[in-house]
Each structure stands twice: as C-alpha cells, then as structure tokens.
C-alpha cells in the first residue's frame, strides 16, 4: 500500500503486515498487524515519526521515495521495540544527516539493540518542543506504554497525538481511519489485554494528563487512526478503572473428563445465580481471547487436573500468563481432579502470592466428582455470586 495523506503535509507512510500471525513469538495476531509511520513536512524541517518492523523496511523506503524526499531532518522515535525502530539503520543509510529525536532512556535502548553511535541522537525531555517551521512537535514522556522508555509526540498546530503502541490494535486494514468500530474495539481490547493491562495504573496517570490536551486525532503505530478519539479514550478509561463486571473467567484443561465435569457443573451453577461466564478450554483456545476476558472478569477460576504431582503444564502456563498480565479481578479459585495427591493447590497459591485477588475455597476432588464434589461447587458458586453482589467494585447492571 502506498502513502496516504492525512492532512496537507502529513502522510501515513507505514506498512500493513497482513500475513503475520504471531508477535514476540507469543501473541496471536488473528488479523495481522500494521506498523504505522508518519511523515510531517514543516516549512523549514521534515520529521518522520517512528519507522516499521525490519521485515517491512522496503515498503517504508518506497513510500518515502514516492513523496520525492531527498532528505529528512528528524526521526522521532517514540518507542524502542523493534517493530517500530528496527528499520532505523536503513533510514540512517537512506537519509544521511537525519537526527534521531528521543528521550535518554529510549536512546539507551536503541543503542543497545541497534549499536548506534551517540552523534546521531537529538535528546529531548518531557514537554520539550521542536519546531519544523510552521509546525511544532511536543514530546510527552509516558513510561510503560509499553516499555519504560515510551513517549508520545503531539503535533500542536494540527492537534494530532502520535502514540505508537498506546491506543493501538493489531489489525491490518486498508482503512486509514477507525470505521468498523465493533471489529476495531475488539482488536483494541485484545491489544490492551495482551500489551497494556500490566501497566494500567501508569496508563490511568497518562490518561489524566492527556485531558490537558485538545486531541483531534490519535495516530497510533498499530491499527487504524482514531479520528474520533473519544471512542478509544472512553474505552481505555473503562478498561483501566478498578471496576469489574459480574463475570467469571474459567480457564481449564481436562485429560479424562473429570475436571471437565466439574467445570460444566460450575458454569451452570454460576449462570443459575445470575453470573456471566467466559469459558476457555486451554487445549484449544486462543489465549488472546482469554486475555480479553481478563479485562473485565470479577473472578478467575483455574480448572486443572494434577499431573505428576503438579498442575497440568497447560494450566500452569495459563496461570503464569494471568499472573504477569495482572488483571484487576477481585477473586480467584482453583478447581480440579487428582488421582493420588500432589501439590497442585500449593503451586498455584505460591504463584499468586503477591496478587491482590482474594482466593476462595478451592474444590479439588479425587477422581470423578461425586455428590460431595458437586455440593462443594455449589458452595463456590454461592460464594462468587454473593461476593459479586456485595462488592461495590463489581458492576451489577450491564
């Protein structure tokens, strides 16, 4: 895809990656992704905002050549991760004399990843500005959206905020702007869950700060541009709030059907008590779908059999993801079946020892669940429903 004009003198010059299906060798990309870069022409100077993943550097170069550029003065780097910075060496070679405009932490990361010399950098600090003649760039240091060095760039005269990962979505699309809102909302929520959720406290602070800025557009470096920014700002305000929904996310694995029988029973018991359930069989689920549910869930339940004295490795992997994604869920529980003992509960409890989630009484049964096991699941369902009803942070009406 060729460059696209946003306003006179400002073009999208990035690349869609329609076929990519995995990011960081971890995160599923069911709809591909894009690496958005932007070229701003001022009366005196020209600036490129971010680059692209190295696999698409040829597309970026072709877009810049199509604009007839013989030189670029500044390359603003909002984030050092390779999907935005990996094409820097190629840009330095194609446009000699270009200066990399970024903060000290980002410079440190870029130099360690790309082995760049000191003299190519133009360091900036929070709220510094850089004139392009008739246009002015302002830099906002905003750590942890996604790494500790991340910053935003605000184009003052046009009121456009370039946010790199922040407010982004892994979505390859021919739409320059966010138009298919249900689809983009889901992709953005998945992106938030997988990338941003561990930093929601920091993000809350940044959202407060952004209220001081008039923002006409949010130009991210993944997914379509938000030309009606209120939509995504409101969505983020909801996601980062302390409020949860009257929902239980159950992630489970079952080898011979016993844990599955317990899960099925618990699902029905919760639904009968007015609690919404999001259920994920870890043997087949897309973990991104599970992550989306973690944004809202009031309670998380891990269902696992015991294998070689431990939780099933698949359940352990999912529990580890839950731990590092740091969802705002209020309660958690473990259910499952065992054959002759083990330390499943201890392993999972230790894993979440620093969590703010309150652990409810577990339900572990020997072999296939009997009446006694099903009654214990009823008590767990009662406990969850009552806590959701009485907890002021659980939204009751949806």
Smallest gap from Cβ 80 to ligand FEO, in A, equals 8
Q: Is 165 in the site for ligand FEO (CB under 6 A)?
A: yes
User: Nearest 5°: phi and psi at 181?
Assistant: -60, -40
Comparison of 20 and 45: residue with beta carbon closer to ligand FEO? 20
Q: Which residue number, 135 or 222, has a Cβ lying nearer to ligand FEO?
A: 222
Nearer CB in complex with ligand FEO: 148/257 = 148
CA atoms of 11 and 6, how far apart (whole Å):
5
99 part of the interface to ligand FEO, by CB under 6 A: no
Q: Which residues from 27-86 bind ligand FEO, rule CB under 6 A?
A: 79, 81, 83-84
**Shortest reach from residue 167's CB to ligand FEO, in Å:** 12
Task: Tell me whether residue 189 is exposed, middle or buried, using C-beta atoms within 10 angstroms of its C-beta: 0 to 12, 13 to 18, 19 or more.
Answer: buried
Helix ranges (DSSP H) in 281-370: 287-294, 313-325, 344-351
Q: Work out how close the CB of 183 gets to ligand FEO at its nearest, in angstroms, rounded to a whole number.
A: 20
Cα(51)–Cα(87) distance, integer angstroms: 6
For residues 385, 391, 392, 396, the Cα torsion angle rounded to the nearest 10 degrees is: -10
Q: How many of the chain's residues bind ligand FEO (CB under 6 A)?
A: 7
CB of 215 to ligand FEO, least distance (A): 20
Name which of residues 263 to 322 contact ligand FEO (CB under 6 A): none
Q: Which of residues 215-234 bind ligand FEO (CB under 6 A)?
A: 222
CB of 49 to ligand FEO, least distance (A): 14
Q: Answer whether 363's CB lies under 8 Å from 305's CB.
A: no
- Output the CA torsion 306→331→384→307 (10° steps): 0
- CB 35 to ligand FEO: min, Å: 8
84 vs 99, which CB is nearer to ligand FEO? 84
The answer to whether residue 170 forms part of the interface with ligand FEO (CB under 6 A) is no
Q: Which is nearer to ligand FEO, 188 or 306 (CB)?
A: 188
Residue given tokens 């944004």 in the structure block? 295
Instruction: Supply the DSSP symbol for 271.
Output: H
Q: Is the dihedral of CA 134, 139, 145, 148 positive or negative?
A: positive
Question: Is residue 103 within 8 Å of residue 151, measured between CB atoms?
Answer: yes
Least distance to ligand FEO from the beta carbon of 164, Å? 7
State the minimum distance, in angstroms, from the CB of residue 83 to ligand FEO. 4
> Of the two residues 57 and 81, which places its CB atom closer to ligand FEO in the complex?
81
How does strand 136-141 pair with strand 151-155? antiparallel
Residue 19's CB: how many other CB atoms inside 10 A? Answer: 9
| CA separation for the pair 151, 164 (Å, rounded) | 8
Nearer to ligand FEO, 79 or 189 (CB): 79
Report in angstroms how near the CB of residue 152 gets to ligand FEO at its nearest: 13
Q: Is the dihedral of CA 98, 101, 107, 109 positive or negative?
A: negative
**Other beta carbons within 10 Å of 46:** 22
* Minimum distance, C-beta of residue 162 to ligand FEO, in the bound complex (Å): 13
Q: Which one-letter DSSP state was computed for residue 199?
A: G
Strand partners, 301: 250, 333
Position among 99, 146, 190, 328 found at the interface with ligand FEO (CB under 6 A)? 146
In the complex, residue closest to ligand FEO by CB:
81
Cβ nearer to ligand FEO, comparing 86 with 311:
86
Q: What part of residues 189-208 is at the interface with ligand FEO (CB under 6 A)?
A: none
For residues 146 and 330, which CB has a smaller minimum distance to ligand FEO in the complex?
Answer: 146
| Closer residue to ligand FEO in complex, CB, 222/328 | 222
Q: Cα 251–198–195 angle (5° rounding)?
A: 85
Binding site for ligand FEO (CB under 6 A): 79, 81, 83-84, 146, 165, 222
């Amino acid at each position: 895809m060729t460059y696209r004009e946003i306003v006179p003198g400002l073009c999208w010059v990035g690349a869609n990656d329609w076929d990519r299906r995995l990011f960081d060798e971890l995160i599923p990309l069911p709809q591909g992704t894009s690496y958005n870069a932007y070229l701003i022409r001022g009366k005196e100077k020209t600036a490129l905002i971010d680059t692209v993943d190295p696999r698409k550097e040829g597309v970026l170069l072709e877009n810049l050549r199509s604009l007839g550029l013989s030189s670029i003065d500044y390359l603003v780097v909002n984030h050092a991760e390779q999907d935005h910075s990996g094409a820097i060496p190629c840009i330095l070679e194609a446009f000699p004399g270009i200066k990399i405009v970024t903060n000290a932490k980002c410079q440190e990361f870029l130099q360690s990843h790309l082995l760049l010399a000191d003299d190519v950098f133009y360091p900036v600090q929070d709220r510094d500005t850089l004139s392009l003649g008739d246009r002015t760039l302002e830099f906002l240091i905003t750590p942890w959206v996604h790494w500790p060095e991340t910053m935003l760039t605000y184009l003052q005269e046009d009121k456009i905020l370039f946010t790199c990962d922040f407010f982004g979505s892994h979505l390859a699309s021919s739409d320059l702007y966010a138009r298919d809102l249900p689809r983009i909302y889901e992709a953005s929520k998945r992106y938030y869950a997988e990338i941003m959720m561990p930093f929601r406290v920091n993000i809350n602070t940044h959202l407060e700060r952004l209220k001081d800025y008039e923002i006409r557009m949010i130009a991210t470096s993944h997914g379509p541009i938000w030309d009606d920014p209120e939509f995504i700002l409101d969505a983020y305000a909801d996601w980062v709030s302390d409020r949860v929904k009257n929902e239980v996310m159950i992630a489970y694995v079952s080898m011979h059907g016993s844990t599955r029988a317990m899960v099925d029973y618990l699902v029905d018991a919760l639904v009968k008590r007015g609690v919404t359930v999001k259920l994920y069989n870890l043997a087949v689920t897309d973990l991104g779908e599970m992550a989306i549910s973690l944004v809202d869930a009031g309670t998380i339940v891990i269902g696992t059999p015991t294998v070689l004295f431990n939780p099933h490795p698949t359940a352990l992997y999912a529990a580890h993801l839950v731990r590092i994604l740091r969802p705002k869920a209020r309660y958690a529980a473990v259910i499952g079946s065992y054959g002759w003992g083990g330390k499943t509960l201890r392993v999972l409890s230790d894993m979440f020892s620093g969590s703010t989630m309150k652990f409810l009484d577990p339900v572990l049964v020997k072999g296939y669940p009997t009446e006694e096991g099903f009654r214990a699941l009823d008590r767990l369902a009662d406990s969850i429903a009552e806590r959701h009803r009485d907890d002021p942070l659980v939204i009751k009406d949806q």
